[in-house]
């Protein structure tokens, strides 16, 4: 079995054993009905007491064959409103960047927690989309309004 | 001077250091003490402190030694230091208060180990032997044999022996794993045999009576287990069974021997037992090979009726009082059981008939059904969830092997029956466990989720049998409710519906086809008035069941589409609307509206008969200022989606007209207090547009006749809907002053106009381009600055979708109105520069003929874009680099366009300069490239590569001359360097290698290194 598959099986096992409160993550099924461990869908709950609370934001996680040497690609839905999310939904986060802070030891749990943290603490030095970045830097009232509206659309249904 | 200190002053500072909470003071003291510790007299200071009566000073003395050892190369004096440390260790160790001085002793021992590990080549004997030998006055340590002397050790010596062992190997584990070969070899050869022999001694003679000593020994065993795993991974040392690792396990197992049937005595042993549980679990999880020989014995200890486990469960776990008091110990005990079970899971899963396996599973089932509410009163059932999941997974993964093993069909069927019966028992326990209870903590939601995941797994094994059981249960509970309602019944109902929802949701997520077989089961409870019963009995404190029902409803559109399910849409919608219209339940309303939207989008064809009801509700919602805007917008989308499914333009026109009419009426009453509501009205129009959009393959959606009829209807637009849309949009976003300056209002109105741009046939939102431009011209003259980005973005979309309909003259007029007349605005705001350059860039990419021939392009736009290169702002630099790349490449340019651009690049002089535009472009680009941060380099690569590819000779000359000029004051970059760089770059012919050459150049210019190569 490839290193990628072995590691992903371990990640799945660890996740089922212990994952942070309010999050979910599960591998998708391949067309033949078997589990495709390289494609996951997951949900990131907004932290309580922030603009992002009361909602669970969906992400997809695609693991390349070179994983864990290379990081997975993590995406919100297209046009997700956040300064560090590209219009395609791809998340710009240093721990997900091979040339920055990605390390093979980073776990799925650390990734989703990192994304949760990013939601309310965007990195203004890594803008990925103009509308949210501009509003975050220059018009905080509008930014807050937009984030809250988005949270309503992803309201946590339990 | 760091070498000069006064011991009294040092002592005073140390005492203060351990007393104060003031972080500034702490920093101040540390900056005074640290130089002393690091100084040449640091060791002397450490010794003095160790002789001080205060424990803080003593510990600080030991710490000072650590710092000294780490700071100075002290191989030559190491023996003297060892003697000193031993002397000090002995001094403390002979005191009666050994335990209270343990933290100082540990630090001193750690120093000893540090010296040994730092200078292993110098030492012939390990530090443990040295310490214990010297403490007995042995002069020639090589003659000292721990194994022979051990039986004569005092309790303190035994303690020191095990402490030293733990510290030494833990310190090794903390070190960089490279270059540890010698250390591992030395430990394997001389340290491990001693610890093994000492444990063997105890295993024969029983562990000492002292609880503290036993705990130290167990700690030491734990450290060894972790160390062995590290050493085997990082070296060629092997701790095979021949090395008698068995002594470690035997010592542990001996702790699980039954010494008494008395609960009180078990309690008195609890600390030792707890440690034993955790160490054994650590072994089972990290190094199970060590336990292999003892597995049978461990199983008996844990699960046999007369074993330790049974006693522990009977005396501690079964006692309500004690189980609360020892919850952490019970958790560790269960972890040990799980670790054992996981190591034997294949055997257990294949041998369900074996009495010993039956006994094990019986114990585990009993523990799963631990009394009390999960999370708030017990956590055992949660711990065991992971085991049951693993257990089910084994059957899923191992199904082929099982079939091969149990060849006879009868035997196999019997086995499956037993297995299924066991799993149904497990499911029954968890089914009960997930019932909501009073004051259930937030973590209980997570517990329920985990249980639902187990049920999803169980479904893949048990298939519809478990699903039908759940559905039957719902049906029974509904009947019971109708006969005699109780809150408990509602909670039972909720638990079953929750599991049905989760399993169904998972099935629909993965595979739509498999859901068909579920329809009859779902029908089973819908036919017993599921929705009506819940609606009747739910109260203000039963939100959980409403949420669960809402979730279930959104997961079963396949059911509503079926003939069986269709008839339940009416009560379902009544329920949904009652939820949505309840203003006191914001979260429920939002979930409810999401459910409605989902059902409407998935089953719109089946919902036509609900249009009149929906219309009434929707019109009320548009009027009602208090309704959440997200809900209002979702309902508009739902209503129009259903109408659209009729494929009848007349009905579509009528329904849109009604909504627009209502919005129009509401627009008259808006005021500053309800600004958000006013924006929501604009959003509603946008939702009409979104829901009216035709699918991509319109030929498959409409017949030719329908398509023609629709196109004709909207061309005629008998109800004047297009005009109405424009009028209401203009009224809210232009004429109503507060919203005219509102960015979101502009964004929404631009979205409204964007909706029909890609429509293949005429529709309610397909406007003539001049109509859109007229609105935009009016809008740009009456809006705030951030709104301009949305206006330009819309123009960009128009170019992309309808560029072929535009002429250069159109473009000239647009640029005049939107850019030239507003030029001052654009120059003031970096975001607006980006917006404008992005738009021009898109035109160059898609329809360059619309732009390159215009006088304004040469007179204004090029110069504007040249200035954009001077920025360091990410979006602007990216947009500008793309603009110039598109201009150079001119992918969709005709011959005439190419000629114009070439002429511009080579012959046109840039504004206020005697150089060609190409020269100025390269000049600005290269200066900007050097100055921009590393993360922006990517944006420039394509620009330079295309310049090399398209204008090789000119680029070469421009670049050479520019670089010589740029570097004239930087002697490091000689003309030879420039020539070399230019040649290297030209050799790439604009291919990918150019990126590397450019990056190398950027690194050199900025005196940086490539982090990938260091």
* Nearest residue of A to residue B544, measured between CA atoms: A158
B239 neighbors B231 (Cβ within 8 angstroms): yes
B595 neighbors B576 (Cβ within 8 angstroms): yes
Q: B827: pLDDT confidence band, cut at 50, 70 and 90? A: confident
Which helix (H) or strand (E) segment holds residue B404: the answer is helix B399-405
Strand partners, B374: B378
Domain-located, residue A158? no
What pLDDT sits at residue B519?
Answer: 93
Q: A154: pLDDT confidence band, cut at 50, 70 and 90? A: very high
In A, which residues are within 8 Å of B630 by CB distance? 149, 152-153
A–B: how many Cβ contacts below 8 A?
61
Q: What angle do CA B206, B208, B214 make, to 5 degrees?
A: 105
Q: pLDDT tens digits, residue range B131-173?
A: 888 878 888 888 899 999 998 888 888 988 999 999 999 999 9
What pLDDT sits at residue B236?
Answer: 87
Pairing assessment for the beta strands A24-29 and A35-45 based on DSSP bridges: antiparallel
In B, which residues are within 8 Å of A134 by CB distance? 786, 789, 831
Judge whether B786 is closer than 8 Å to chain A, CB to CB: yes
B497 neighbors B478 (Cβ within 8 angstroms): no
Strand partners, B644: none
What pLDDT sits at residue B543?
Answer: 84
Total H helices, total E strands in chain B: 57, 0
Q: What angle do CA B244, B245, B250 make, to 5 degrees?
A: 100
Domain that holds residue A43: 3-153
Residue A92 known to be catalytic? yes
Does position B245 have pLDDT exceeding 90, yes or no? no
Judge whether B828 is closer than 8 Å to chain A, CB to CB: no
Does position B984 have pLDDT exceeding 60, yes or no? yes
In A, which residues are within 8 Å of B445 by CB distance? 22, 158
- Which residue numbers of A have CB closer than 8 Å to B's CBs? 16-17, 21-22, 24, 28-29, 33, 41, 54, 99, 126-127, 130-131, 133-134, 138-139, 142, 145-146, 149, 152-153, 155-158
Domain-located, residue A89? yes
Residue B596 to chain A, least CA–CA distance (Å): 13
Q: B884: pLDDT confidence band, cut at 50, 70 and 90? A: very high
Cβ-nearest to A157 among B511, B591, B630:
B591
Residue B446 to chain A, least CA–CA distance (Å): 6
Does position B243 have pLDDT exceeding 70, yes or no? no
* Nearest residue of B to residue A134, measured between CA atoms: B831
In A, which residues are within 8 Å of B511 by CB distance? 29, 33
Q: Encoding tokens for residue B929? A: 């490239």
Residue A67 to chain B, least CA–CA distance (Å): 18
What pLDDT sits at residue B752?
Answer: 97
Q: Could you count the other beta carbons within 10 Å of the beta carbon of residue A99?
A: 11
Judge whether B875 is closer than 8 Å to chain A, CB to CB: yes
CATH number of domain containing A114? 3.10.110.10
Please tell me what DSSP assigns to residue A38.
E
Place of tokens 């499914």: B645
**Phi, then psi, of A25 in degrees rounded to 5:** -160, 130
* Nearest residue of B to residue A135, measured between CA atoms: B786
Q: B96: pLDDT confidence band, cut at 50, 70 and 90? A: low
Judge whether B547 is closer than 8 Å to chain A, CB to CB: yes
CA distances from B405 to A51, B398, B401, B415 (A): 57, 11, 6, 11
Contact A21 B443 (CB under 8 A): yes
Domain-located, residue A117? yes
More confident residue, A3 or B852: B852
| Domain locations along chain B | 112-244, 463-552, 609-805
Task: Kindly give the interhelix angle for B874-889 and B937-950, rounded to the nearest 10 degrees.
Answer: 20
What pLDDT sits at residue B814?
Answer: 92
Cβ-nearest to B590 among A139, A152, A158:
A152
What pLDDT sits at residue B673?
Answer: 77
**For chain B, what percent of residues have pLDDT higher than 90?**
53
* Nearest residue of A to residue B879, measured between CA atoms: A130
Q: B510: pLDDT confidence band, cut at 50, 70 and 90? A: low
- Model ipTM value: 0.82
Catalytic residue chosen out of the listed positions A92, A112, A115, A132: A92
Domain-located, residue A85? yes
Domain-located, residue A120? yes
What pLDDT sits at residue B636?
Answer: 96
Does position B1009 have pLDDT exceeding 80, yes or no? no
Cβ-nearest to B630 among A24, A54, A152:
A152
Cβ-nearest to B630 among A130, A149, A157:
A149
Best of B281, B338, B441, B446 to substitute, by most chain A Cβ atoms within 10 angstroms, is B446
Residue A78 to chain B, least CA–CA distance (Å): 16
Does position B991 have pLDDT exceeding 80, yes or no? yes
Residue A155 to chain B, least CA–CA distance (Å): 7
* Nearest residue of A to residue B634, measured between CA atoms: A153
What pLDDT sits at residue B849?
Answer: 95
Q: A31: pLDDT confidence band, cut at 50, 70 and 90? A: low
- For the ranges B237-246, B300-309, B466-475, the maximum mean pLDDT occurs at B466-475
* Mean pLDDT of all residues belonging to chain A: 90
Q: Encoding tokens for residue B280? A: 């054994």
- What are the DSSP calls for B58-90, one per residue? HHHHHHHHHHHHHHS--TTTHHHHHHHHHHHHH
Judge whether B283 is closer than 8 Å to chain A, CB to CB: no
Does position B85 have pLDDT exceeding 80, yes or no? no
Contact B446 A145 (CB under 8 A): no
Residue B322's Cα: distance from chain center in Å? Answer: 39
Does position B406 have pLDDT exceeding 60, yes or no? yes
Residue B620 to chain A, least CA–CA distance (Å): 21
Please tell me what DSSP assigns to residue B908.
P
Contact A134 B831 (CB under 8 A): yes
In A, which residues are within 8 Å of B544 by CB distance? 158
- DSSP percent split of chain B into helix, strand, coil, nearest 5: 75, 0, 20
How many domains are contained in chain A? 1
Interacting residues of B92 by C-beta distance below 8 A, sequence separation 6+: B58, B98, B101, B104, B105, B108
**For chain B, what percent of residues have pLDDT higher than 70?**
95
Judge whether B286 is closer than 8 Å to chain A, CB to CB: no
* Mean pLDDT of all residues belonging to chain B: 89
Domain-located, residue A51? yes
Contact A16 B389 (CB under 8 A): yes
* Nearest residue of B to residue A148, measured between CA atoms: B630
In B, which residues are within 8 Å of A138 by CB distance? 786, 831
Does position B216 have pLDDT exceeding 70, yes or no? yes
Does position B194 have pLDDT exceeding 90, yes or no? yes
Place of tokens 């070969």: B181
pLDDT, average across residues B514-526? 89
Judge whether B441 is closer than 8 Å to chain A, CB to CB: no
- What are the DSSP calls for B475-524, one per residue? HHHHHHHHHS--HHHHHHHHHHHHHHHHHHHHHHHH-SGGGGGGHHHHHH
Q: pLDDT tens digits, residue range A126-151?
A: 889 988 998 999 899 999 999 999 99
Largest Cα–Cα distance of chain A, in whole Å?
52
Cβ-nearest to B510 among A29, A126, A152:
A29
Q: pLDDT tens digits, residue range B3-37?
A: 678 888 899 989 888 888 788 888 888 888 988 98
Does position B397 have pLDDT exceeding 70, yes or no? yes
What pLDDT sits at residue B773?
Answer: 95
Q: pLDDT tens digits, residue range B431-442?
A: 999 999 999 998
pLDDT, average across residues B204-220? 83
């Amino acid at each position: 079995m490839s290193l990628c598959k072995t590691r992903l099986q371990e990640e799945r096992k660890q996740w089922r054993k212990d994952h942070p409160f309010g999050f979910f993550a599960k591998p998708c099924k391949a067309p033949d009905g078997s589990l495709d461990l390289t494609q996951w869908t997951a949900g990131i709950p907004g932290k309580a007491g922030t603009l992002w609370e009361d909602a669970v934001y969906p992400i997809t996680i695609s693991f390349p064959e070179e994983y864990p040497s290379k990081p997975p690609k993590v995406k919100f839905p297209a046009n997700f409103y956040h300064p560090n999310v590209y219009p395609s939904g791809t998340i710009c986060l240093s721990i997900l960047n091979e040339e920055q802070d990605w390390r093979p030891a980073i776990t799925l749990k650390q990734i989703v927690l990192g994304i949760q943290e990013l939601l309310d603490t965007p990195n203004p030095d890594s803008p990925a989309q103009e509308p949210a970045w501009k509003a975050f830097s220059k018009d905080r009232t509008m930014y807050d309004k937009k984030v809250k509206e988005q949270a309503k659309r992803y309201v946590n249904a339990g | 001077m760091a070498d000069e200190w006064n011991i009294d002053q040092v002592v005073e500072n140390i005492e203060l250091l351990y007393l104060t909470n003031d972080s500034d003071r702490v920093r101040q003291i540390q900056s005074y003490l640290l130089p002393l510790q690091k100084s040449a007299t640091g060791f002397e200071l450490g010794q003095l402190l160790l002789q001080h009566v205060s424990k803080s000073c003593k510990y600080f003395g030991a710490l000072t030694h650590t710092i000294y050892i780490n700071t100075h190369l002290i191989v030559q004096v190491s023996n003297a230091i060892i003697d000193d440390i031993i002397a000090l260790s002995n001094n403390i160790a002979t005191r009666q208060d050994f335990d209270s001085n343990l933290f100082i002793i540990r630090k001193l021992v750690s120093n000893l180990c540090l010296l040994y590990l730092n200078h292993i080549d110098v030492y012939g004997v390990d530090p443990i032997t040295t310490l214990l030998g010297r403490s007995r006055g042995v002069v020639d340590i090589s003659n000292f044999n721990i194994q022979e002397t051990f039986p004569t050790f005092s309790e303190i010596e035994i303690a020191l022996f095990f402490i030293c062992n733990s510290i030494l190997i833990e310190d090794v584990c903390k070190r960089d794993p490279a270059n540890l070969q010698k250390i591992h070899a030395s430990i394997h050869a001389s340290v491990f045999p001693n610890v093994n022999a000492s444990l063997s001694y105890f295993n024969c003679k029983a562990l000492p009576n002292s609880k503290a000593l036993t705990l130290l020994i167990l700690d030491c065993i734990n450290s060894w287990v972790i160390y062995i795993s590290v050493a085997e991974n990082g070296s060629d040392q092997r701790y095979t069974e021949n090395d008698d690792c068995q002594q470690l396990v035997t010592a542990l197992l001996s702790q699980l021997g039954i010494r008494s049937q008395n609960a009180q005595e078990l309690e008195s042993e609890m600390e030792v037992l707890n440690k034993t549980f955790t160490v054994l679990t650590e072994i089972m999880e990290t190094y199970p090979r060590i336990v292999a020989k003892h597995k049978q014995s461990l199983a008996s200890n844990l699960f046999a009726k007369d074993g330790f486990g049974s006693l522990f469960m009977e005396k501690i776990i079964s006692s309500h009082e004690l189980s609360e008091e020892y919850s952490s110990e019970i958790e560790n005990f269960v972890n040990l059981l799980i670790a054992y079970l996981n190591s034997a899971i294949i055997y257990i899963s294949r041998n369900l008939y074996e009495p010993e396996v039956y006994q094990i599973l019986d114990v585990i089932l009993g523990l799963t059904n631990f009394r009390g509410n999960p999370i708030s009163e017990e956590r055992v059932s949660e711990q065991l969830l992971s085991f049951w999941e693993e257990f089910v997974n084994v059957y899923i993964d191992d199904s082929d092997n099982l079939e091969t093993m149990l060849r006879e069909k009868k035997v196999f069927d019997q086995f499956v029956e037993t297995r299924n019966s066991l799993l149904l028992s497990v499911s029954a326990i968890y089914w009960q466990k997930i019932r909501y209870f009073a004051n259930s903590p937030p973590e209980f939601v997570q517990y329920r989720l985990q249980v639902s995941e187990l049920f999803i797994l169980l479904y893949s094994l048990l298939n519809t049998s478990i699903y039908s059981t759940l559905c039957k249960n719902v049906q029974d509970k509904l009947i019971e409710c109708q006969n005699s309602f109780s809150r408990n019944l509602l909670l039972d109902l909720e638990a079953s519906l929750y599991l049905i929802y989760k399993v169904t949701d998972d099935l629909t997520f993965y595979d739509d086809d498999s859901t068909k077989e579920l329809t009859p089961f779902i029908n089973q409870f819908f036919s017993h008035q599921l929705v009506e019963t819940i609606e009747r009995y739910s109260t203000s404190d039963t939100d959980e069941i409403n949420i669960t029902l809402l979730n279930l409803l959104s997961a079963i559109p396949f059911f509503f589409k079926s003939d069986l399910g269709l008839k339940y849409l009416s009560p379902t919608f009544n329920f949904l609307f009652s939820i949505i219209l309840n203003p006191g339940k914001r979260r429920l309303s939002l979930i409810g509206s999401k459910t409605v939207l989902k059902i409407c989008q998935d089953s719109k064809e089946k919902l036509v008969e609900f249009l009149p009801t929906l219309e009434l509700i929707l019109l009320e919602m548009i009027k009602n200022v208090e309704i959440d805007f997200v809900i209002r917008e979702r309902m508009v989308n739902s209503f129009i989606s259903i109408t659209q499914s009729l494929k009848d333009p007349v009905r579509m026109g009528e329904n849109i007209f009604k909504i627009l009419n209502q919005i129009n009426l509401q627009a008259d009453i808006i005021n500053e207090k309800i600004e958000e509501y006013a924006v929501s009205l604009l959003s509603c129009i946008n939702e009409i547009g979104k829901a009216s959009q035709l699918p991509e393959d319109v030929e498959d959606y409409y017949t030719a006749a329908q398509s023609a009829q629709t196109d004709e209807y909207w061309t005629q637009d008998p109800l004047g809907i297009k005009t109405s849309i424009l009028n209401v949009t203009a009224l809210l976003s232009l004429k109503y002053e507060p919203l005219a300056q509102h960015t979101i209002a502009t964004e929404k109105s631009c979205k409204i106009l964007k909706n029909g741009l890609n429509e293949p046939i005429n529709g309610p939102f397909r406007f003539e381009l001049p109509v859109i431009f007229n609105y935009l011209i009016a809008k740009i003259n009456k809006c705030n600055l951030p709104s301009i980005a949305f206006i330009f973005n819309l123009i960009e979309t128009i170019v992309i979708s309808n560029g072929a309909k535009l002429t250069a003259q159109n473009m000239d007029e647009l640029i005049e109105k939107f850019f030239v007349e507003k030029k001052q605005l654009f120059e003031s705001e970096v975001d607006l520069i980006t917006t404008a350059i992005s738009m021009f860039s898109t035109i160059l990419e898609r329809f360059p003929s619309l732009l390159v021939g215009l006088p304004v392009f040469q007179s204004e736009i090029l110069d504007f874009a040249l200035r954009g290169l001077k920025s360091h702002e990410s979006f602007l630099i990216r947009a500008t680099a793309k603009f110039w790349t598109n201009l150079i490449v001119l992918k969709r340019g005709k011959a005439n366009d190419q000629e114009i651009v070439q002429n511009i690049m080579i012959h046109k002089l840039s504004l206020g300069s005697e150089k060609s535009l190409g020269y100025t472009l390269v000049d600005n680009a290269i200066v900007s490239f050097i100055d921009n941060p590393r993360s922006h380099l990517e944006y420039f690569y394509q620009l330079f590569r295309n310049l090399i590819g398209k204008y090789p000779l000119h680029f070469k000359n421009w670049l050479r001359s520019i670089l010589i000029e740029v570097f004239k004051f930087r002697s490091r970059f000689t003309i030879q360097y420039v020539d070399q760089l230019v040649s290297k770059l030209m050799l790439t012919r604009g291919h990918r290698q150019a990126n590397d050459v450019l990056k190398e150049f950027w690194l050199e210019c900025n005196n940086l290194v490539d982090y990938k190569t260091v």
